[in-house]
Structure 1
Amino acid sequence: MRFARPAAVAAALAGLMVLTGCSNLGSLPLIGGSSRPKPAELGPNVPVLGVRQAWTTQIGSTQGLALDARVLGHTVLLASAAGDVAAIDARTGGDVWRAHLGTPLASGVGSDGRWSAVATRSSEVIALDGGREIWRKPVSSQAYTAPLVAGNRIFVLASDRSVTAFDAATGYQLWRQQRPGEPLILRQGGVLMALGDTLVVGLSGRLVGFNPDNGSVRWEAPLASPRGTNDVERLVEIVGRTSRIGDNLCARAYQASVGCIDARRGSVLWTQQASGGEGVDGDEEMLFGTEGNGTVLAWRRADGSRAWSSDRLQWRKLTAPLVLGRSVVVGDDTGLVHLLSRDDASPLNRLATDGSGIAAAPVVAADTLVVVTRKGGVFGFRPE
């Protein structure tokens, strides 16, 4: 048996919570304390790509929220931990609409442009039409993955590994599927997405394709399997974000592997061992990810072979990446946003926010790079 180093164990446990059935028994303590090795020195910023801050606004603190920024055209939908939900115009930073739900939230926002939905810490799903609340319904446990809104339905992946479909207009429950799993689960967003006429869900170490009309399983594609002798070692979850090119869908299994599947057939194309806890992004040729120790990796999408590895940001807690033109963009826990070359991870620019840590993977909307911090700052950056 191979023993994990204390720093690696602490990083692995930082996002975990204990569940027995639907009961939250509290957060696991960190083993060996919460200290991490000193981050690598960044050196002076030499901007190869000119980028300027175009606007900034506020959503409210996102601390403790499994935030996911949802992009629809030129609009970015965001939520705060306290229960504020906003649709922000990425062209100006102004509000399209904003709602205060009056209850703490557990997940980010899902939306199709009309209907929007969030999950609360009190195990409810709340639906909105525009910025107006229309219904609330209980779910079996907290949901850390933003609900999926598609086909006039709202799909919820709860932390007990149940998947529930609601009618978006009325809140009527259409179906519910329950999947058994290991006793630990990640307190962060997973995979819940539409791919053609299939609902794709991350359940334990598998991507599972459901019929969205009735919840029947069409296929299962394993990216990782539980191993080890205790609950921590056996934890396997698929984490967001994912990278999709046509029917080719790539994802990460927490602290275990990255891999790509053919989502039309549900067959695994390749997997590679990887020890990160955040999702991936990519393009037709490459797939990019960040590891738990701050290493940034690139794999060739065709076969999973390693293209490059960079330790320039080692021991910084990094977000999932965003592929943006010639750049791979990642945020860190000091509020910096790093633009790295997709060819070799050489630095292209470094952007500052409010110093509180980047809360979610960066997104792009209306030719604007949008990042959100733990303090709730929302920043829009554009090329000079």
Structure 2
Amino acid sequence: MSAVRRSAKALAAGAVLAAALALAGCGSSKPKPAELGPPVALLPVHQAWHAQLGSVAGMVLVPAVHGEAVVLASEGGTVTGLDARTGGGLWRVQLDARLAAGVGTDGRRTAVVSKERQLIVIENGAEKWRRQLPAQTFTAPLVAGGRVFVMTGDRAVMAFDGETGYRLWNQQRQGEPLVLQASGLLTAVGDTLVAGLSGRMVGFDPDTGAIRWEAPLATPRGSNDVERLVELLGGVSREGNVLCARAFQAAVGCVDASRGALLWTRPAHGAQGVGGDAEALYGSESSGTVQAWKRADGAPLWTHEQLRYRSLTAPLVLGRSVVIGDETGQVHLLSREDGAPLNRLSTDSSGVAATPVAAGKTLVVVTRQGGVYGFRPD
């Protein structure tokens, strides 16, 4: 469920709009999902381990993977690295802060953001430094190249020195008066830092913050602030230099990030990011329909309707399956070829909190109450 917040000064003060977006499928009159029946395990998978983290329901969690390790954080300030092969703890830090967003890591340094708008960096199992941010952020920091990059809710992109926490540069962009309480687009493609700003994919020089290119995936339209909200969402699909993403409730599209050229865009109505492979792009629409598009030009490939009204996560492409979690804690494995069900896995009933991730041969799923589940193929 995506909520909306006021941008700029109101966001910096933590002001919240009164309602979550009905547009995102969160309205009280949401139709009842259809019964799924017993799962058919055409792709045999078993639960290998289970760990407990702490509730993540009040933060925007993006699990970070580095090799066989997965790094997670709870709203209560616990940040931990787990061995995805066994579920055993590699390290654990308890911060004196409640967290709003995370996690970013390069395997050496790990970064999260607190509800008090502090960027906190951890190294060698201990807090290394923290810096006050000018506004709240719901996007996990990006840790790369000895730096920590942050995108705040008022559309500022900043770079900090990973060793000292010194702010290297700050780029501020004027935008719409609302922002999503959801993970935005912040990633690296080659030597370019890529951020999503008000419907546009923007490429930055990571050393100076200078803008190299801009590519519009969607243009704000509508008669009110909510209808004009077209933020680019976190959860992207990259193949080489081509980066594909979703603009909230507006479109999906792909950009050649080596030169900032928009390759294609197609109307789509979803509130979660996308996944993909070399041939296709996959996404869950706000209705719960799962859609596949041809990666080359955006032509529709298939549609899966059985998961409608289940508040789905963004998809993960893993092997021959598309993996999607839902609000009841079920994890659905669909065929990449045609969307046919391959298996259904169970966690707890609190709901899947973030897009599932793959660490080595393990599928890792985190629930809202902090259950962490590791699944492996038989």
Q: CA deviation at 1:29?
A: 1.9
Provide Cα deviations, 1:319-363, integer angstroms capped at 9, x if missing partner.
000001110000000000000111111111100001110000000
CA contact (8 A) 1:227 1:233 kept: yes
1:54 to 45, 48, 52: 48
Q: 1:30 to 1:191 in 2, by over 3 A?
A: closer
Q: How large is the RMSD of aligned CA atoms in angstroms?
A: 1.1
Alignment of 1:28 with 2:22, yes or no, is no
Alignment of 1:272 with 2:266, yes or no, is yes
Provide Cα deviations, 1:126-183, integer angstroms capped at 9, x if missing partner.
0111321011100111111110011110011011110111111111111111001101
Match of 2:61, SS? coil
Q: Partner of 1:337 in structure 2?
A: 331
Alignment of 1:352 with 2:346, yes or no, is yes
Alignment of 1:19 with 2:7, yes or no, is yes
Task: Give the partner amino acid of 1:256.
Answer: A
Q: 1:197 to 1:299 in 2, by over 3 A?
A: same
Q: 1:31 to 1:235 in 2, by over 3 A?
A: closer
Alignment of 1:190 with 2:184, yes or no, is yes
Q: 1:302 to 1:363 in 2, by over 3 A?
A: same
Structure 2: where are the runs of 5+ without partners?
none
CA contact (8 A) 2:356 2:365 kept: yes
Task: Give the partner amino acid of 1:226.
Answer: P
Task: Give the partner amino acid of 1:257.
Answer: A
Aligned counterparts of 1:324 and 1:209: Cα–Cα separation in 2? 28
Task: Give the partner amino acid of 1:197.
Answer: D
Aligned counterparts of 1:317 and 1:130: Cα–Cα separation in 2? 37
Q: Partner of 1:7 in structure 2?
A: none
Structure 1: where are the runs of 5+ without partners?
1-10
CA contact (8 A) 1:67 1:108 kept: yes
Alignment of 1:255 with 2:256, yes or no, is no
Match of 2:312, SS? coil
Aligned counterparts of 2:219 and 2:163: Cα–Cα separation in 1? 38
CA contact (8 A) 1:336 1:353 kept: yes
Match of 2:227, SS? helix
Q: CA deviation at 1:25?
A: 2.0
Q: Partner of 1:199 in structure 2?
A: 193
CA contact (8 A) 1:67 1:360 kept: yes
2:58 to 58, 64, 82: 64
Q: CA deviation at 1:31?
A: 7.6
Q: Partner of 2:161 in structure 1?
A: 167
Aligned counterparts of 1:15 and 1:60: Cα–Cα separation in 2? 22
Q: Partner of 1:119 in structure 2?
A: 113
Q: 1:30 to 1:71 in 2, by over 3 A?
A: closer
Q: Partner of 1:89 in structure 2?
A: 83
Alignment of 1:321 with 2:311, yes or no, is no
Divergent runs of 4+, >3 A: 30-33
Match of 2:34, SS? coil
Task: Give the partner amino acid of 1:15.
Answer: A
Task: Give the partner amino acid of 1:334.
Answer: T
Q: 1:20 to 1:193 in 2, by over 3 A?
A: closer
Provide Cα deviations, 1:98-143, integer angstroms capped at 9, x if missing partner.
1011211111110111111101110110011132101110011111
Alignment of 1:246 with 2:236, yes or no, is no
CA contact (8 A) 1:61 1:80 kept: yes
CA contact (8 A) 2:8 2:135 kept: no
CA contact (8 A) 1:17 1:28 kept: no
TM-score relative to the length of structure 1:
0.95
Tell me the number of residue pairs that the alignment of Structure 1 and Structure 2 aligns. 372
Q: Partner of 2:294 in structure 1?
A: 300
Aligned counterparts of 2:317 and 2:101: Cα–Cα separation in 1? 24
Provide Cα deviations, 1:57-93, integer angstroms capped at 9, x if missing partner.
0111001210101111001011101111011110110
Task: Give the partner amino acid of 1:17.
Answer: R
Q: Partner of 1:309 in structure 2?
A: 303
Aligned counterparts of 1:42 and 1:342: Cα–Cα separation in 2? 19
Provide Cα deviations, 1:264-290, integer angstroms capped at 9, x if missing partner.
110100001000000001110010000
Q: CA deviation at 1:24?
A: 2.6
Alignment of 1:132 with 2:100, yes or no, is no
Alignment of 1:150 with 2:140, yes or no, is no
Q: 1:60 to 1:166 in 2, by over 3 A?
A: same
Q: Partner of 2:220 in structure 1?
A: 226
1:37 to 31, 36, 41: 31
